[in-house]
């Protein structure tokens, strides 16, 4: 699909943003994608135009949209679950005002399409934990989950009340090798590979049998683009879609690594993140995403482990061999 208008990725230096940018460059041309973040791009390579932007600065956001004729925004700037618990007020402020600024912008600049990610964190201790349905009890008990649930309601409100074309996915824990994770409860499943390839023992902050829904990053990026490119009438849910992926425990991911690195050692010392994980689903029912816009995941845990190990190993080779 070719586009003639520009796309803005906010939070582009993060785990998802950096991979989304690469995919969008290849699809639509580097000149059509603008990356923005509150940080300087020190470690992440940005091929195209880069802007320093604070998503909570509404006037600054409007200026960027106007100046660059932005027609699509991926707003990925947020504080994740574990980090959010360290500073709830900050997490609430960033997660909510960033979203509201994007939604207001879409109301102001007609035809602006918004992607905003929600999370499995919208569920809570009273939600069913197995095959968690799209519509069920939701009582999140982290500030992150509360902000995502409130955000979903705002998305639907702006879609219904103002006709804003906002689309959203409740991502499971995302696992990729291209960038460092940023303060989530599911991030052990990224760090574990980095320890394994360096032949270092890994101490997991969750207990060995803690199952959580996860997804390899390439599947998540593909889901995001499929949802954004789906005809509007197929996007029946304007709050956020459940997305299933794969479910595994720390013990299972460690075992999948040991098939490649037999001397890899993993021990389990649960900390405050255990309570967060225990309040979340273990697996997700994504029948609506499948039915409405044809979602189908590709990667299982074994395929993901193989790709993660191969690519992270290269990152630790001396520069000349890399």
Residues noted as catalytic = 144
Q: For ligand NAD, which residue of 46, 78, 164, 257 counts as binding (CB under 6 A)? A: 78
Min CB(24)–ligand SER separation in Å: 22
Min CB(52)–ligand NAD separation in Å: 9
Determine the interface stretch with ligand NAD among 11-19, 279-287, 296-304, 309-317 (rule: CB under 6 A).
Answer: 11-19
14 contributes a contact to ligand NAD by CB under 6 A: yes
Cβ contact 202:191 at 8 Å: yes
38 contributes a contact to ligand NAD by CB under 6 A: yes
250 binds, among ligand SER, ligand NAD, none (CB under 5 to 8 A by kind): none
Per-residue H/E/C for the chain: CCCCCEEEEECCCCHHHHHHHHHHHHHHCHHHEEEEECCCCCCCCCCCEEEECCCCCHHHHHHHHHHHCEEEEEECCCCCHHHHHHCHHHHHHHHHHHHHHHHHHHHHCCCCEEECCEEHHHCCCCCCCCCECCCCCCCCCCHHHHHHHHHHHHHHHHHHHHCCEEECEEECEEECCCCCCCCCHHHHHHHHHHHHHCCCCEEECCCCCCCEEEEEHHHHHHHHHHHHHCCHHHCCCCCCEECCCEEECHHHHHHHHHCCCCCCCEEECCCCHHHHHHCCCCCECCHHHHHHHCCCCCCCHHHHHHHHHHHHHHHCCCHHHC
81 binds, among ligand SER, ligand NAD, none (CB under 5 to 8 A by kind): ligand SER
Size of the site for ligand NAD (CB under 6 A): 27
38 binds, among ligand NAD, ligand SER, none (CB under 5 to 8 A by kind): ligand NAD
305 contributes a contact to ligand SER by CB under 6 A: no
Q: For ligand SER, which residue of 184, 244, 245, 297 counts as binding (CB under 6 A)? A: 184
Site for ligand NAD in 178-217 (CB under 6 A): 182, 184, 186
77 binds, among ligand SER, ligand NAD, none (CB under 5 to 8 A by kind): ligand NAD
CB nearer to ligand SER: give 185 or 256. 185
Residues that bind ligand SER (CB under 6 A): 80-81, 119-121, 144, 173, 184-186
Residues that bind ligand NAD (CB under 6 A): 10-11, 13-17, 37-39, 53-56, 76-78, 80, 94, 117, 119, 171, 173-174, 182, 184, 186
């Amino acid at each position: 699909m070719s586009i003639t208008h520009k796309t803005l990725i906010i939070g582009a230096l993060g785990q998802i943003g950096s991979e989304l940018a690469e995919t969008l460059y290849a699809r639509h041309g580097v000149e059509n994608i603008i990356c923005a973040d509150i940080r300087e791009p020190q470690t992440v390579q940005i091929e195209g135009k880069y802007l320093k932007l604070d998503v909570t600065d509404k006037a600054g956001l409007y200026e960027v949209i106007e100046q660059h004729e932005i027609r699509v925004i991926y707003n990925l700037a947020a504080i994740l679950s574990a980090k959010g618990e360290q500073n709830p007020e900050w997490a609430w402020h960033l997660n909510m005002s960033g979203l509201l600024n994007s939604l207001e912008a879409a109301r102001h600049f007609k035809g602006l399409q918004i992607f905003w990610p929600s999370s499995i964190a919208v569920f809570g201790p009273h939600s069913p934990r197995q095959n968690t349905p799209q519509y069920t009890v939701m009582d999140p008990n982290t500030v992150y989950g509360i902000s995502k649930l409130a955000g979903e309601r705002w998305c639907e409100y702006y879609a219904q009340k103002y006709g804003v074309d906002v689309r959203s996915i409740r991502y499971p824990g995302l696992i990729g090798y291209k960038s460092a994770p940023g303060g989530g409860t599911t991030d052990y499943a990224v760090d574990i590979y980095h320890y394994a390839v360096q032949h270092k023992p890994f101490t997991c902050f969750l207990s060995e049998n803690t199952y959580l829904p996860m997804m390899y990053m390439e599947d998540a990026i593909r889901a995001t683009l499929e949802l954004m490119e789906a005809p509007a009438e197929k996007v029946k849910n304007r709050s956020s879609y459940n997305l299933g992926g794969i479910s595994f425990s720390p013990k299972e991911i460690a075992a999948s690594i040991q098939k490649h690195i037999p001397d890899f050692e993993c021990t389990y010392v649960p900390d405050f993140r255990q309570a967060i994980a225990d309040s979340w689903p273990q697996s997700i029912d994504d029948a609506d995403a499948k039915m409405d816009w044809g979602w189908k995941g590709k990667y299982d845990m074994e395929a993901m482990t193989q790709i993660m190990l191969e690519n992270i190993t290269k990152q630790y080779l001396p520069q000349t061999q890399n």
